[in-house]
Amino acid sequence: MSALDVGYAAGCGAETGMRVRRTGAFRTRRDARRYWLLLCLFLGAGVAAVLGLILYNQPVPVDSPSFIPVVKRRLTSVTAMFIAALCHSFATVAFQSVTGNRIITPSLLGYESLYSFIQTSVLFFFGATTLVRFTGTGAFFLQVALMIGLSLILFGWLLSGRYGNLHLMLLVGIIIGAGLNSVSGFMRRVLSPSEFDLLQARLIGSVNNADAAYFPIVIPLVLATALAMFLLSRRLNVLSLGRDAATAFGVHYQAHVILFLVLIAVLMATTTALIGPMTFFGFLVAMLSYQAAPTHDHRYVLPMAFAIGFGVLTSAYFLLYHVFHAQTVVSVLIELFGGIAFLTVLLRKRSL
C-alpha cells in the first residue's frame, strides 16, 4: 500500500476516533458493519418475501397431494424474480461503472425493441403458425444470440478503433431501438386483428409468464455470467477510474470494456427474452446499492445490488399480491419509483 493510502486511512480513523491504520474497501469499521448488516437485512427481506409468496394463502393444506404442484407453480415466478434481480442489478452496476456514468442503464440499448422486432417479424414474414411454433429452447437461444450478436456488432463497430466513443455507441443504440420500434409498429399495422392478439400476448412480459422450460439453460447461463463478472470485479474497479487511469494501471481498457459489455449483453438479453423489459428497475437498484454500500469496490457493491434487487422485487410482489391485492401494477410501480429516483438524481447532479 502506498503511503498516501495509509495516510488517508489514518485520517479517517482519527476522525472517528477508532483504530488508526486501516486499508481496505471500507473507510471505517462502522461502514463495514453497516454494510454487512444491510446486506443481511435485504437478503432476509428477500427470503421472507419468498417464503410468503410460496406459502402464504395456500389454497390447499400441506398434506394434500396438490400441495407440491402449487408450490412448484409459485416457485417458477420466484425463480423468474431471482433471475431478473440478478441480471438487472449486476448488469446495471457494471454498465454504470464501465461508462463512468451513474444515470444510464443498459436497458437503453434497445434489447426490448429488438425482442419485439424479432417476434413481430416472425409473425409478419412467416405467419401465425410459425409464431406459435416459435417457442422452445431453440427459438429462445436464437433470440438471445441475435440480441447478443447485435450488441457485439454495435460495440465492435463503435467502440473500437480510433474514433471509439462510448457515448456515441449508447446514443446509436438508443436510436436503433427507436427505429426498430417504428419498423415493428409498421408491421403490426398490417397484421390482422387475430394475429395482432397473438403477438400482443407474446410481447407483454412479466415474471408470471416466464416459461419454466427455459430454466435449465437460463439459470446456469446467468449464474456463470454473474460469477464471471464477480470474479472480474477487481478489473471493474480499475475500469471505473476511467480510460487514462486504467491504462496507467496496465489494464487494456478497450478490451476490458468490450468484455464487460458482452457480459452485460448476455445478462440483459436473457432477462429480456425470459421476462420482458424493465427499464428503471436496474437504475433504482443500482442507486440504492451505492447508498447502502459506502465503497467503490465492486466485490461489495455487486452482492449488495443483488440483495437489494431481490429484496425489493420479491417484497413488492408479496405486498401487492397479498396485502393490496393489486396484481397488475407491480412492474409499473417499480418502474415508477425507479423513474422518480432517476429524476431526483438527475436534478441534483452537478456534473455528468
Partner 1 sequence: MSTHAMHEAEIGSPPPLAEPRPERNRLITVPFVLAVFAVIALGAVSLFTGVYDIWGREDGRDMFFITRVPRTIALMLTGAAMAMTGLIMHLVTRNKMVEPTTTGTTEWAGLGLLAAYLLVPGPTLVMRMTGAIVFSFVGTMIFFLFLRHVRLRSSLIVPITGMMLGAVVSAFSTFMTLRFNMSQVIENWFIGSFAPVQAGRYEHLWIIVAVTLITFLYANRLTIAGLGEDVATALGLHYHRLILLANALVAVCVGVVAAVIGNIPFLGLIVPNIVSMIRGDDLRSNLPWVCLTGMGTITLCDIVARVVIMPFEVPVSLILGTLGAAVFILILLRQRRSGRVR
Nearest approach, Cβ of residue 112 and partner 1 (Å): 11
**Residue 18 gets which letter from DSSP?**
S
Q: Which of residues 134-163 bind partner 1 (CB under 8 A)?
A: 163
By CB under 8 A, tell whether 333 contacts partner 1.
Answer: yes
Sequence letter at residue 173: G
Site string for partner 1, 104-123 (x = CB under 8 A): xx--x---------------
Q: Does 91 bind partner 1 (CB under 8 A)?
A: no
What is the C-alpha separation between 152 and 192, in angstroms, rounded?
35
Please give the Cα distance from 305 to 240 (Å, whole number): 17
Name the residue with cell 453497516.
Answer: 34
Minimum distance, C-beta of residue 313 to partner 1, in the bound complex (Å): 17
296 half-sphere exposure, CB direction, 13 A CA radius: 12
Q: With respect to partner 1, which residue has the nearer C-beta, 121 or 279? A: 279
Q: How many angstroms separate the first and last alpha carbons of the chain? A: 31
C-alpha distances (whole Å) from 149 to each of 44, 153, 178, 265, 340 are 38, 6, 18, 9, 33
Amino acid identity of 297? D
Nine-digit cell string for 34? 453497516
Binding-site member from 6, 75, 139, 172 for partner 1 (CB under 8 A): 172
Residue closer to partner 1 (CB basis): 75 or 103: 103
Shortest Cβ 26–partner 1 spacing (Å): 29
Q: Which of 76, 121, 181, 254 binds partner 1 (CB under 8 A)?
A: 181
CA distance 85 to 285: 9
- Residue from 148, 174, 191, 203 binding partner 1 (CB under 8 A): 174
Nearest distance, CB of residue 20 and partner 1, angstroms: 37
- Residue 48 touches partner 1, criterion: CB under 8 A: no
Radius of gyration of the chain (CA): 22
Contact yes or no for 314/49 (Cβ under 8 A): yes
Interface stretch with partner 1, choices 49-57, 89-97, 175-183, 263-271 (CB under 8 A): 175-183
- Cβ closest to partner 1, residue 38 vs residue 261: 261
What would the grid cell of residue 273 be?
A: 427474452
**Residue whose grid cell is 440478478:** 86
Contact 80, 275 (CB under 8 A): yes
Q: How far is the CB of 92 from partner 1 (least distance, A)?
A: 13
Q: Is 346 in the site for partner 1 (CB under 8 A)?
A: yes
Measured CA distances, 161 to 16, 95, 149, 261 (Å) = 48, 21, 19, 16
Binders of partner 1 among residues 265 to 294 (CB under 8 A) are: 279-280
Among 23, 101, 130, 327, indicate the residue that binds partner 1 (CB under 8 A).
Answer: 101
What's the CA gap between 50 and 283, in Å, rounded? 23
Quick check: 245 binds partner 1 (CB under 8 A)?
Answer: no
Choices 17-25, 84-92, 145-153, 180-188; region in contact with partner 1 by CB under 8 A: 180-188
The CB-of-329 to partner 1 minimum distance in angstroms stands at 7
| 200: contact with partner 1 by CB under 8 A | no
Given candidates 36, 186, 249, 324, which one binds partner 1 under the rule CB under 8 A?
186
Q: Is 297 exposed, middle or buried (0-12, 13-18, 19+ CB in 10 A)?
A: middle
Secondary structure class of 311 (helix, strand, coil): helix
Of positions 167, 200, 234, 323, contacts partner 1 by CB under 8 A: 167
Check residue 95 for interaction with partner 1 (CB under 8 A).
no
- Sites of contact with partner 1 (CB under 8 A): 101, 103-105, 108, 163, 165, 167-168, 170-172, 174-176, 178-179, 181-183, 185-186, 189-190, 279-280, 328-329, 332-333, 335-336, 338-340, 342-343, 346-347, 349-352
